Amino acid sequence: MITHILLQQYWWCVASLVGALFVFLLFVQGGQSLIYSLVKTPEERNSLLAMLGHKWGLTYTTLVLFGGAMFAAFPLYYSTSFGGAYWLWISILFLFVIQAVSYEYRSKPANFLGQKTYDCFLFLNGFFGVLLLGVAVGMFFTGGAFTMGKMNITQIGQPVISSWTNDWHGLEAILNPFNLLLGAVLVFLTRTLALLYVMQQSDNEELRKRAKGMLLYYSLLFVVLFVGLLVYLYTLTGYAVDPANGSITPVAHKYVANLYQLPVLGILLLVGVLVVLAGIAATLVYKRDKVFWWVSAGAVLAVWSLLLSAGLNNTAYFSSTIEPQHSLTLYNSSSSEYTLTAMAVVSLLVPFVLLYIAYVWRALDKKKPVAPVEY
């Protein structure tokens, strides 16, 4: 029998998977962050950005799909996070807007800002955009400074359910060590994926050799930081919710408990990590240059496991650091059973969206990217 609780868990699984796919597609940003270190000439920079420029639209498609799923399935999270931590999200939005503008205008004649300015914009998006996204995702585990009162909707003058309690509105999350560590892990993961992508796609032998030389450095940093992130995560105190009465209590090592109480999470994480490590080792030790898809698949599985762990097994996925009883859970933040049921039918279209992304990707790979002209 399909119940409201089952639908809530189903939609958390769907949204988490789309979020994991979005993290994989951030390899475009990872490549942009290497334009001052990987490439040595303007021609190589143009060639690199031509390869990446074909894919940045797919990242936006997946981001919109993730945002739409969260908005429809868990509207209270959407309003609390985007409406409360708006300075953090506005910063992320700005960094992504300048990416779109840069790819559109960097190579056009009579460009009054010049290519160097737009290249700088792409670097800022590739580094700080990914870092701040990691900070925002980290709040799934560390929470935010908000209060919630559903009865506030009855107040005619100010029907606001959730309110942020400081003037930083999300920027304070940047100072949280866990959030920053997660952001750094994403930065080096996306750079690792970008280097593997260059090694697989580029016809420039020198560029490929340079990418392979940098892979050891960035992949090692990623692995070390990721291990540190897991240790940090599994020592955190999480918040458990009682589905019967909605009471929320702190639980030491909650995310460790999620692993052995839901073994599939541990299996996904273990398989994902092993595939990533095997792919990197195959490149560095056995001289394999075509492992981008294997490592990407492993990264998706590992990220999916972490996102699932944030909300499943009666876990508060967005805790309030002001009043823990106001924390958001799958039960108190989701849409109605009717809405989730209707959306479950619509979700049957998600595979078609993913197939569309795969089709576009394949079509773009068949078309040789043309490096933009230097003006």
**Per-10-residue mean pLDDT for the chain, 375 residues long?**
89 94 94 92 89 84 85 90 91 92 83 86 96 96 88 61 88 96 97 94 88 93 96 95 90 94 96 95 81 94 97 95 93 92 83 78 67 43
From residue 370, give the alpha-carbon distance in Å to each of 44, 47, 49, 166, 262.
Answer: 12, 7, 10, 49, 48
From residue 256, give the alpha-carbon distance in Å to each of 143, 269, 324.
Answer: 18, 12, 20
pLDDT at 228: 97
Q: Which helix (H) or strand (E) holds 88?
A: helix 86-105
- CB distance 144 to 321 below 8 Å: yes
From residue 238, give the alpha-carbon distance in Å to each of 16, 243, 252.
Answer: 18, 16, 6
Specify the pTM.
Answer: 0.92
Question: Residue 250: which residues within 8 A CB-CB, separation 6 or more?
Answer: 237, 238, 239, 240, 324
What one-letter code names the amino acid at 21? L
- From CA 56, how far away is CA 71, in angstroms rounded? 23
Q: Which helix (H) or strand (E) holds 173?
A: none
What residue spans define the domains of the chain? 4-366
146: left (phi over 0), alpha (psi -120 to 50) or beta: beta
Collapsed DSSP state (helix, strand, coil) of residue 158: coil
Query: Which two tokens mark 367?
Result: 């078309």
CA-wise closest residue to 69 among 18, 141, 136 = 18
- Count of all residues that appear for the chain in the document: 375
From residue 10, give the alpha-carbon distance in Å to each of 6, 58, 306, 334.
Answer: 6, 24, 16, 12
pLDDT at 250: 95
pLDDT at 375: 35
- CB distance 34 to 51 below 8 Å: no
DSSP 2-31: --HHHHHHHHHHHHHHHHHHHHHHTHHHHH
User: How far is residue 26 CA from its own chain's centroid?
Assistant: 8
User: What DSSP character marks residue 312?
Assistant: T
CA-wise closest residue to 296 among 195, 184, 182, 178 = 195
Taking each helix axis from N to C terminus, what angle separates 56-73 and 337-346, rounded to the nearest 10 degrees? 150
- From CA 288, how far away is CA 308, in angstroms rounded? 32
- From CA 301, how far away is CA 286, in angstroms rounded? 24
pLDDT at 373: 42
Question: Residue 3: which residues within 8 A CB-CB, separation 6 or more?
Answer: 337
Query: Which two tokens mark 196?
Result: 């593997």
Collapsed DSSP state (helix, strand, coil) of residue 44: helix
Query: Which two tokens mark 218?
Result: 């960035």
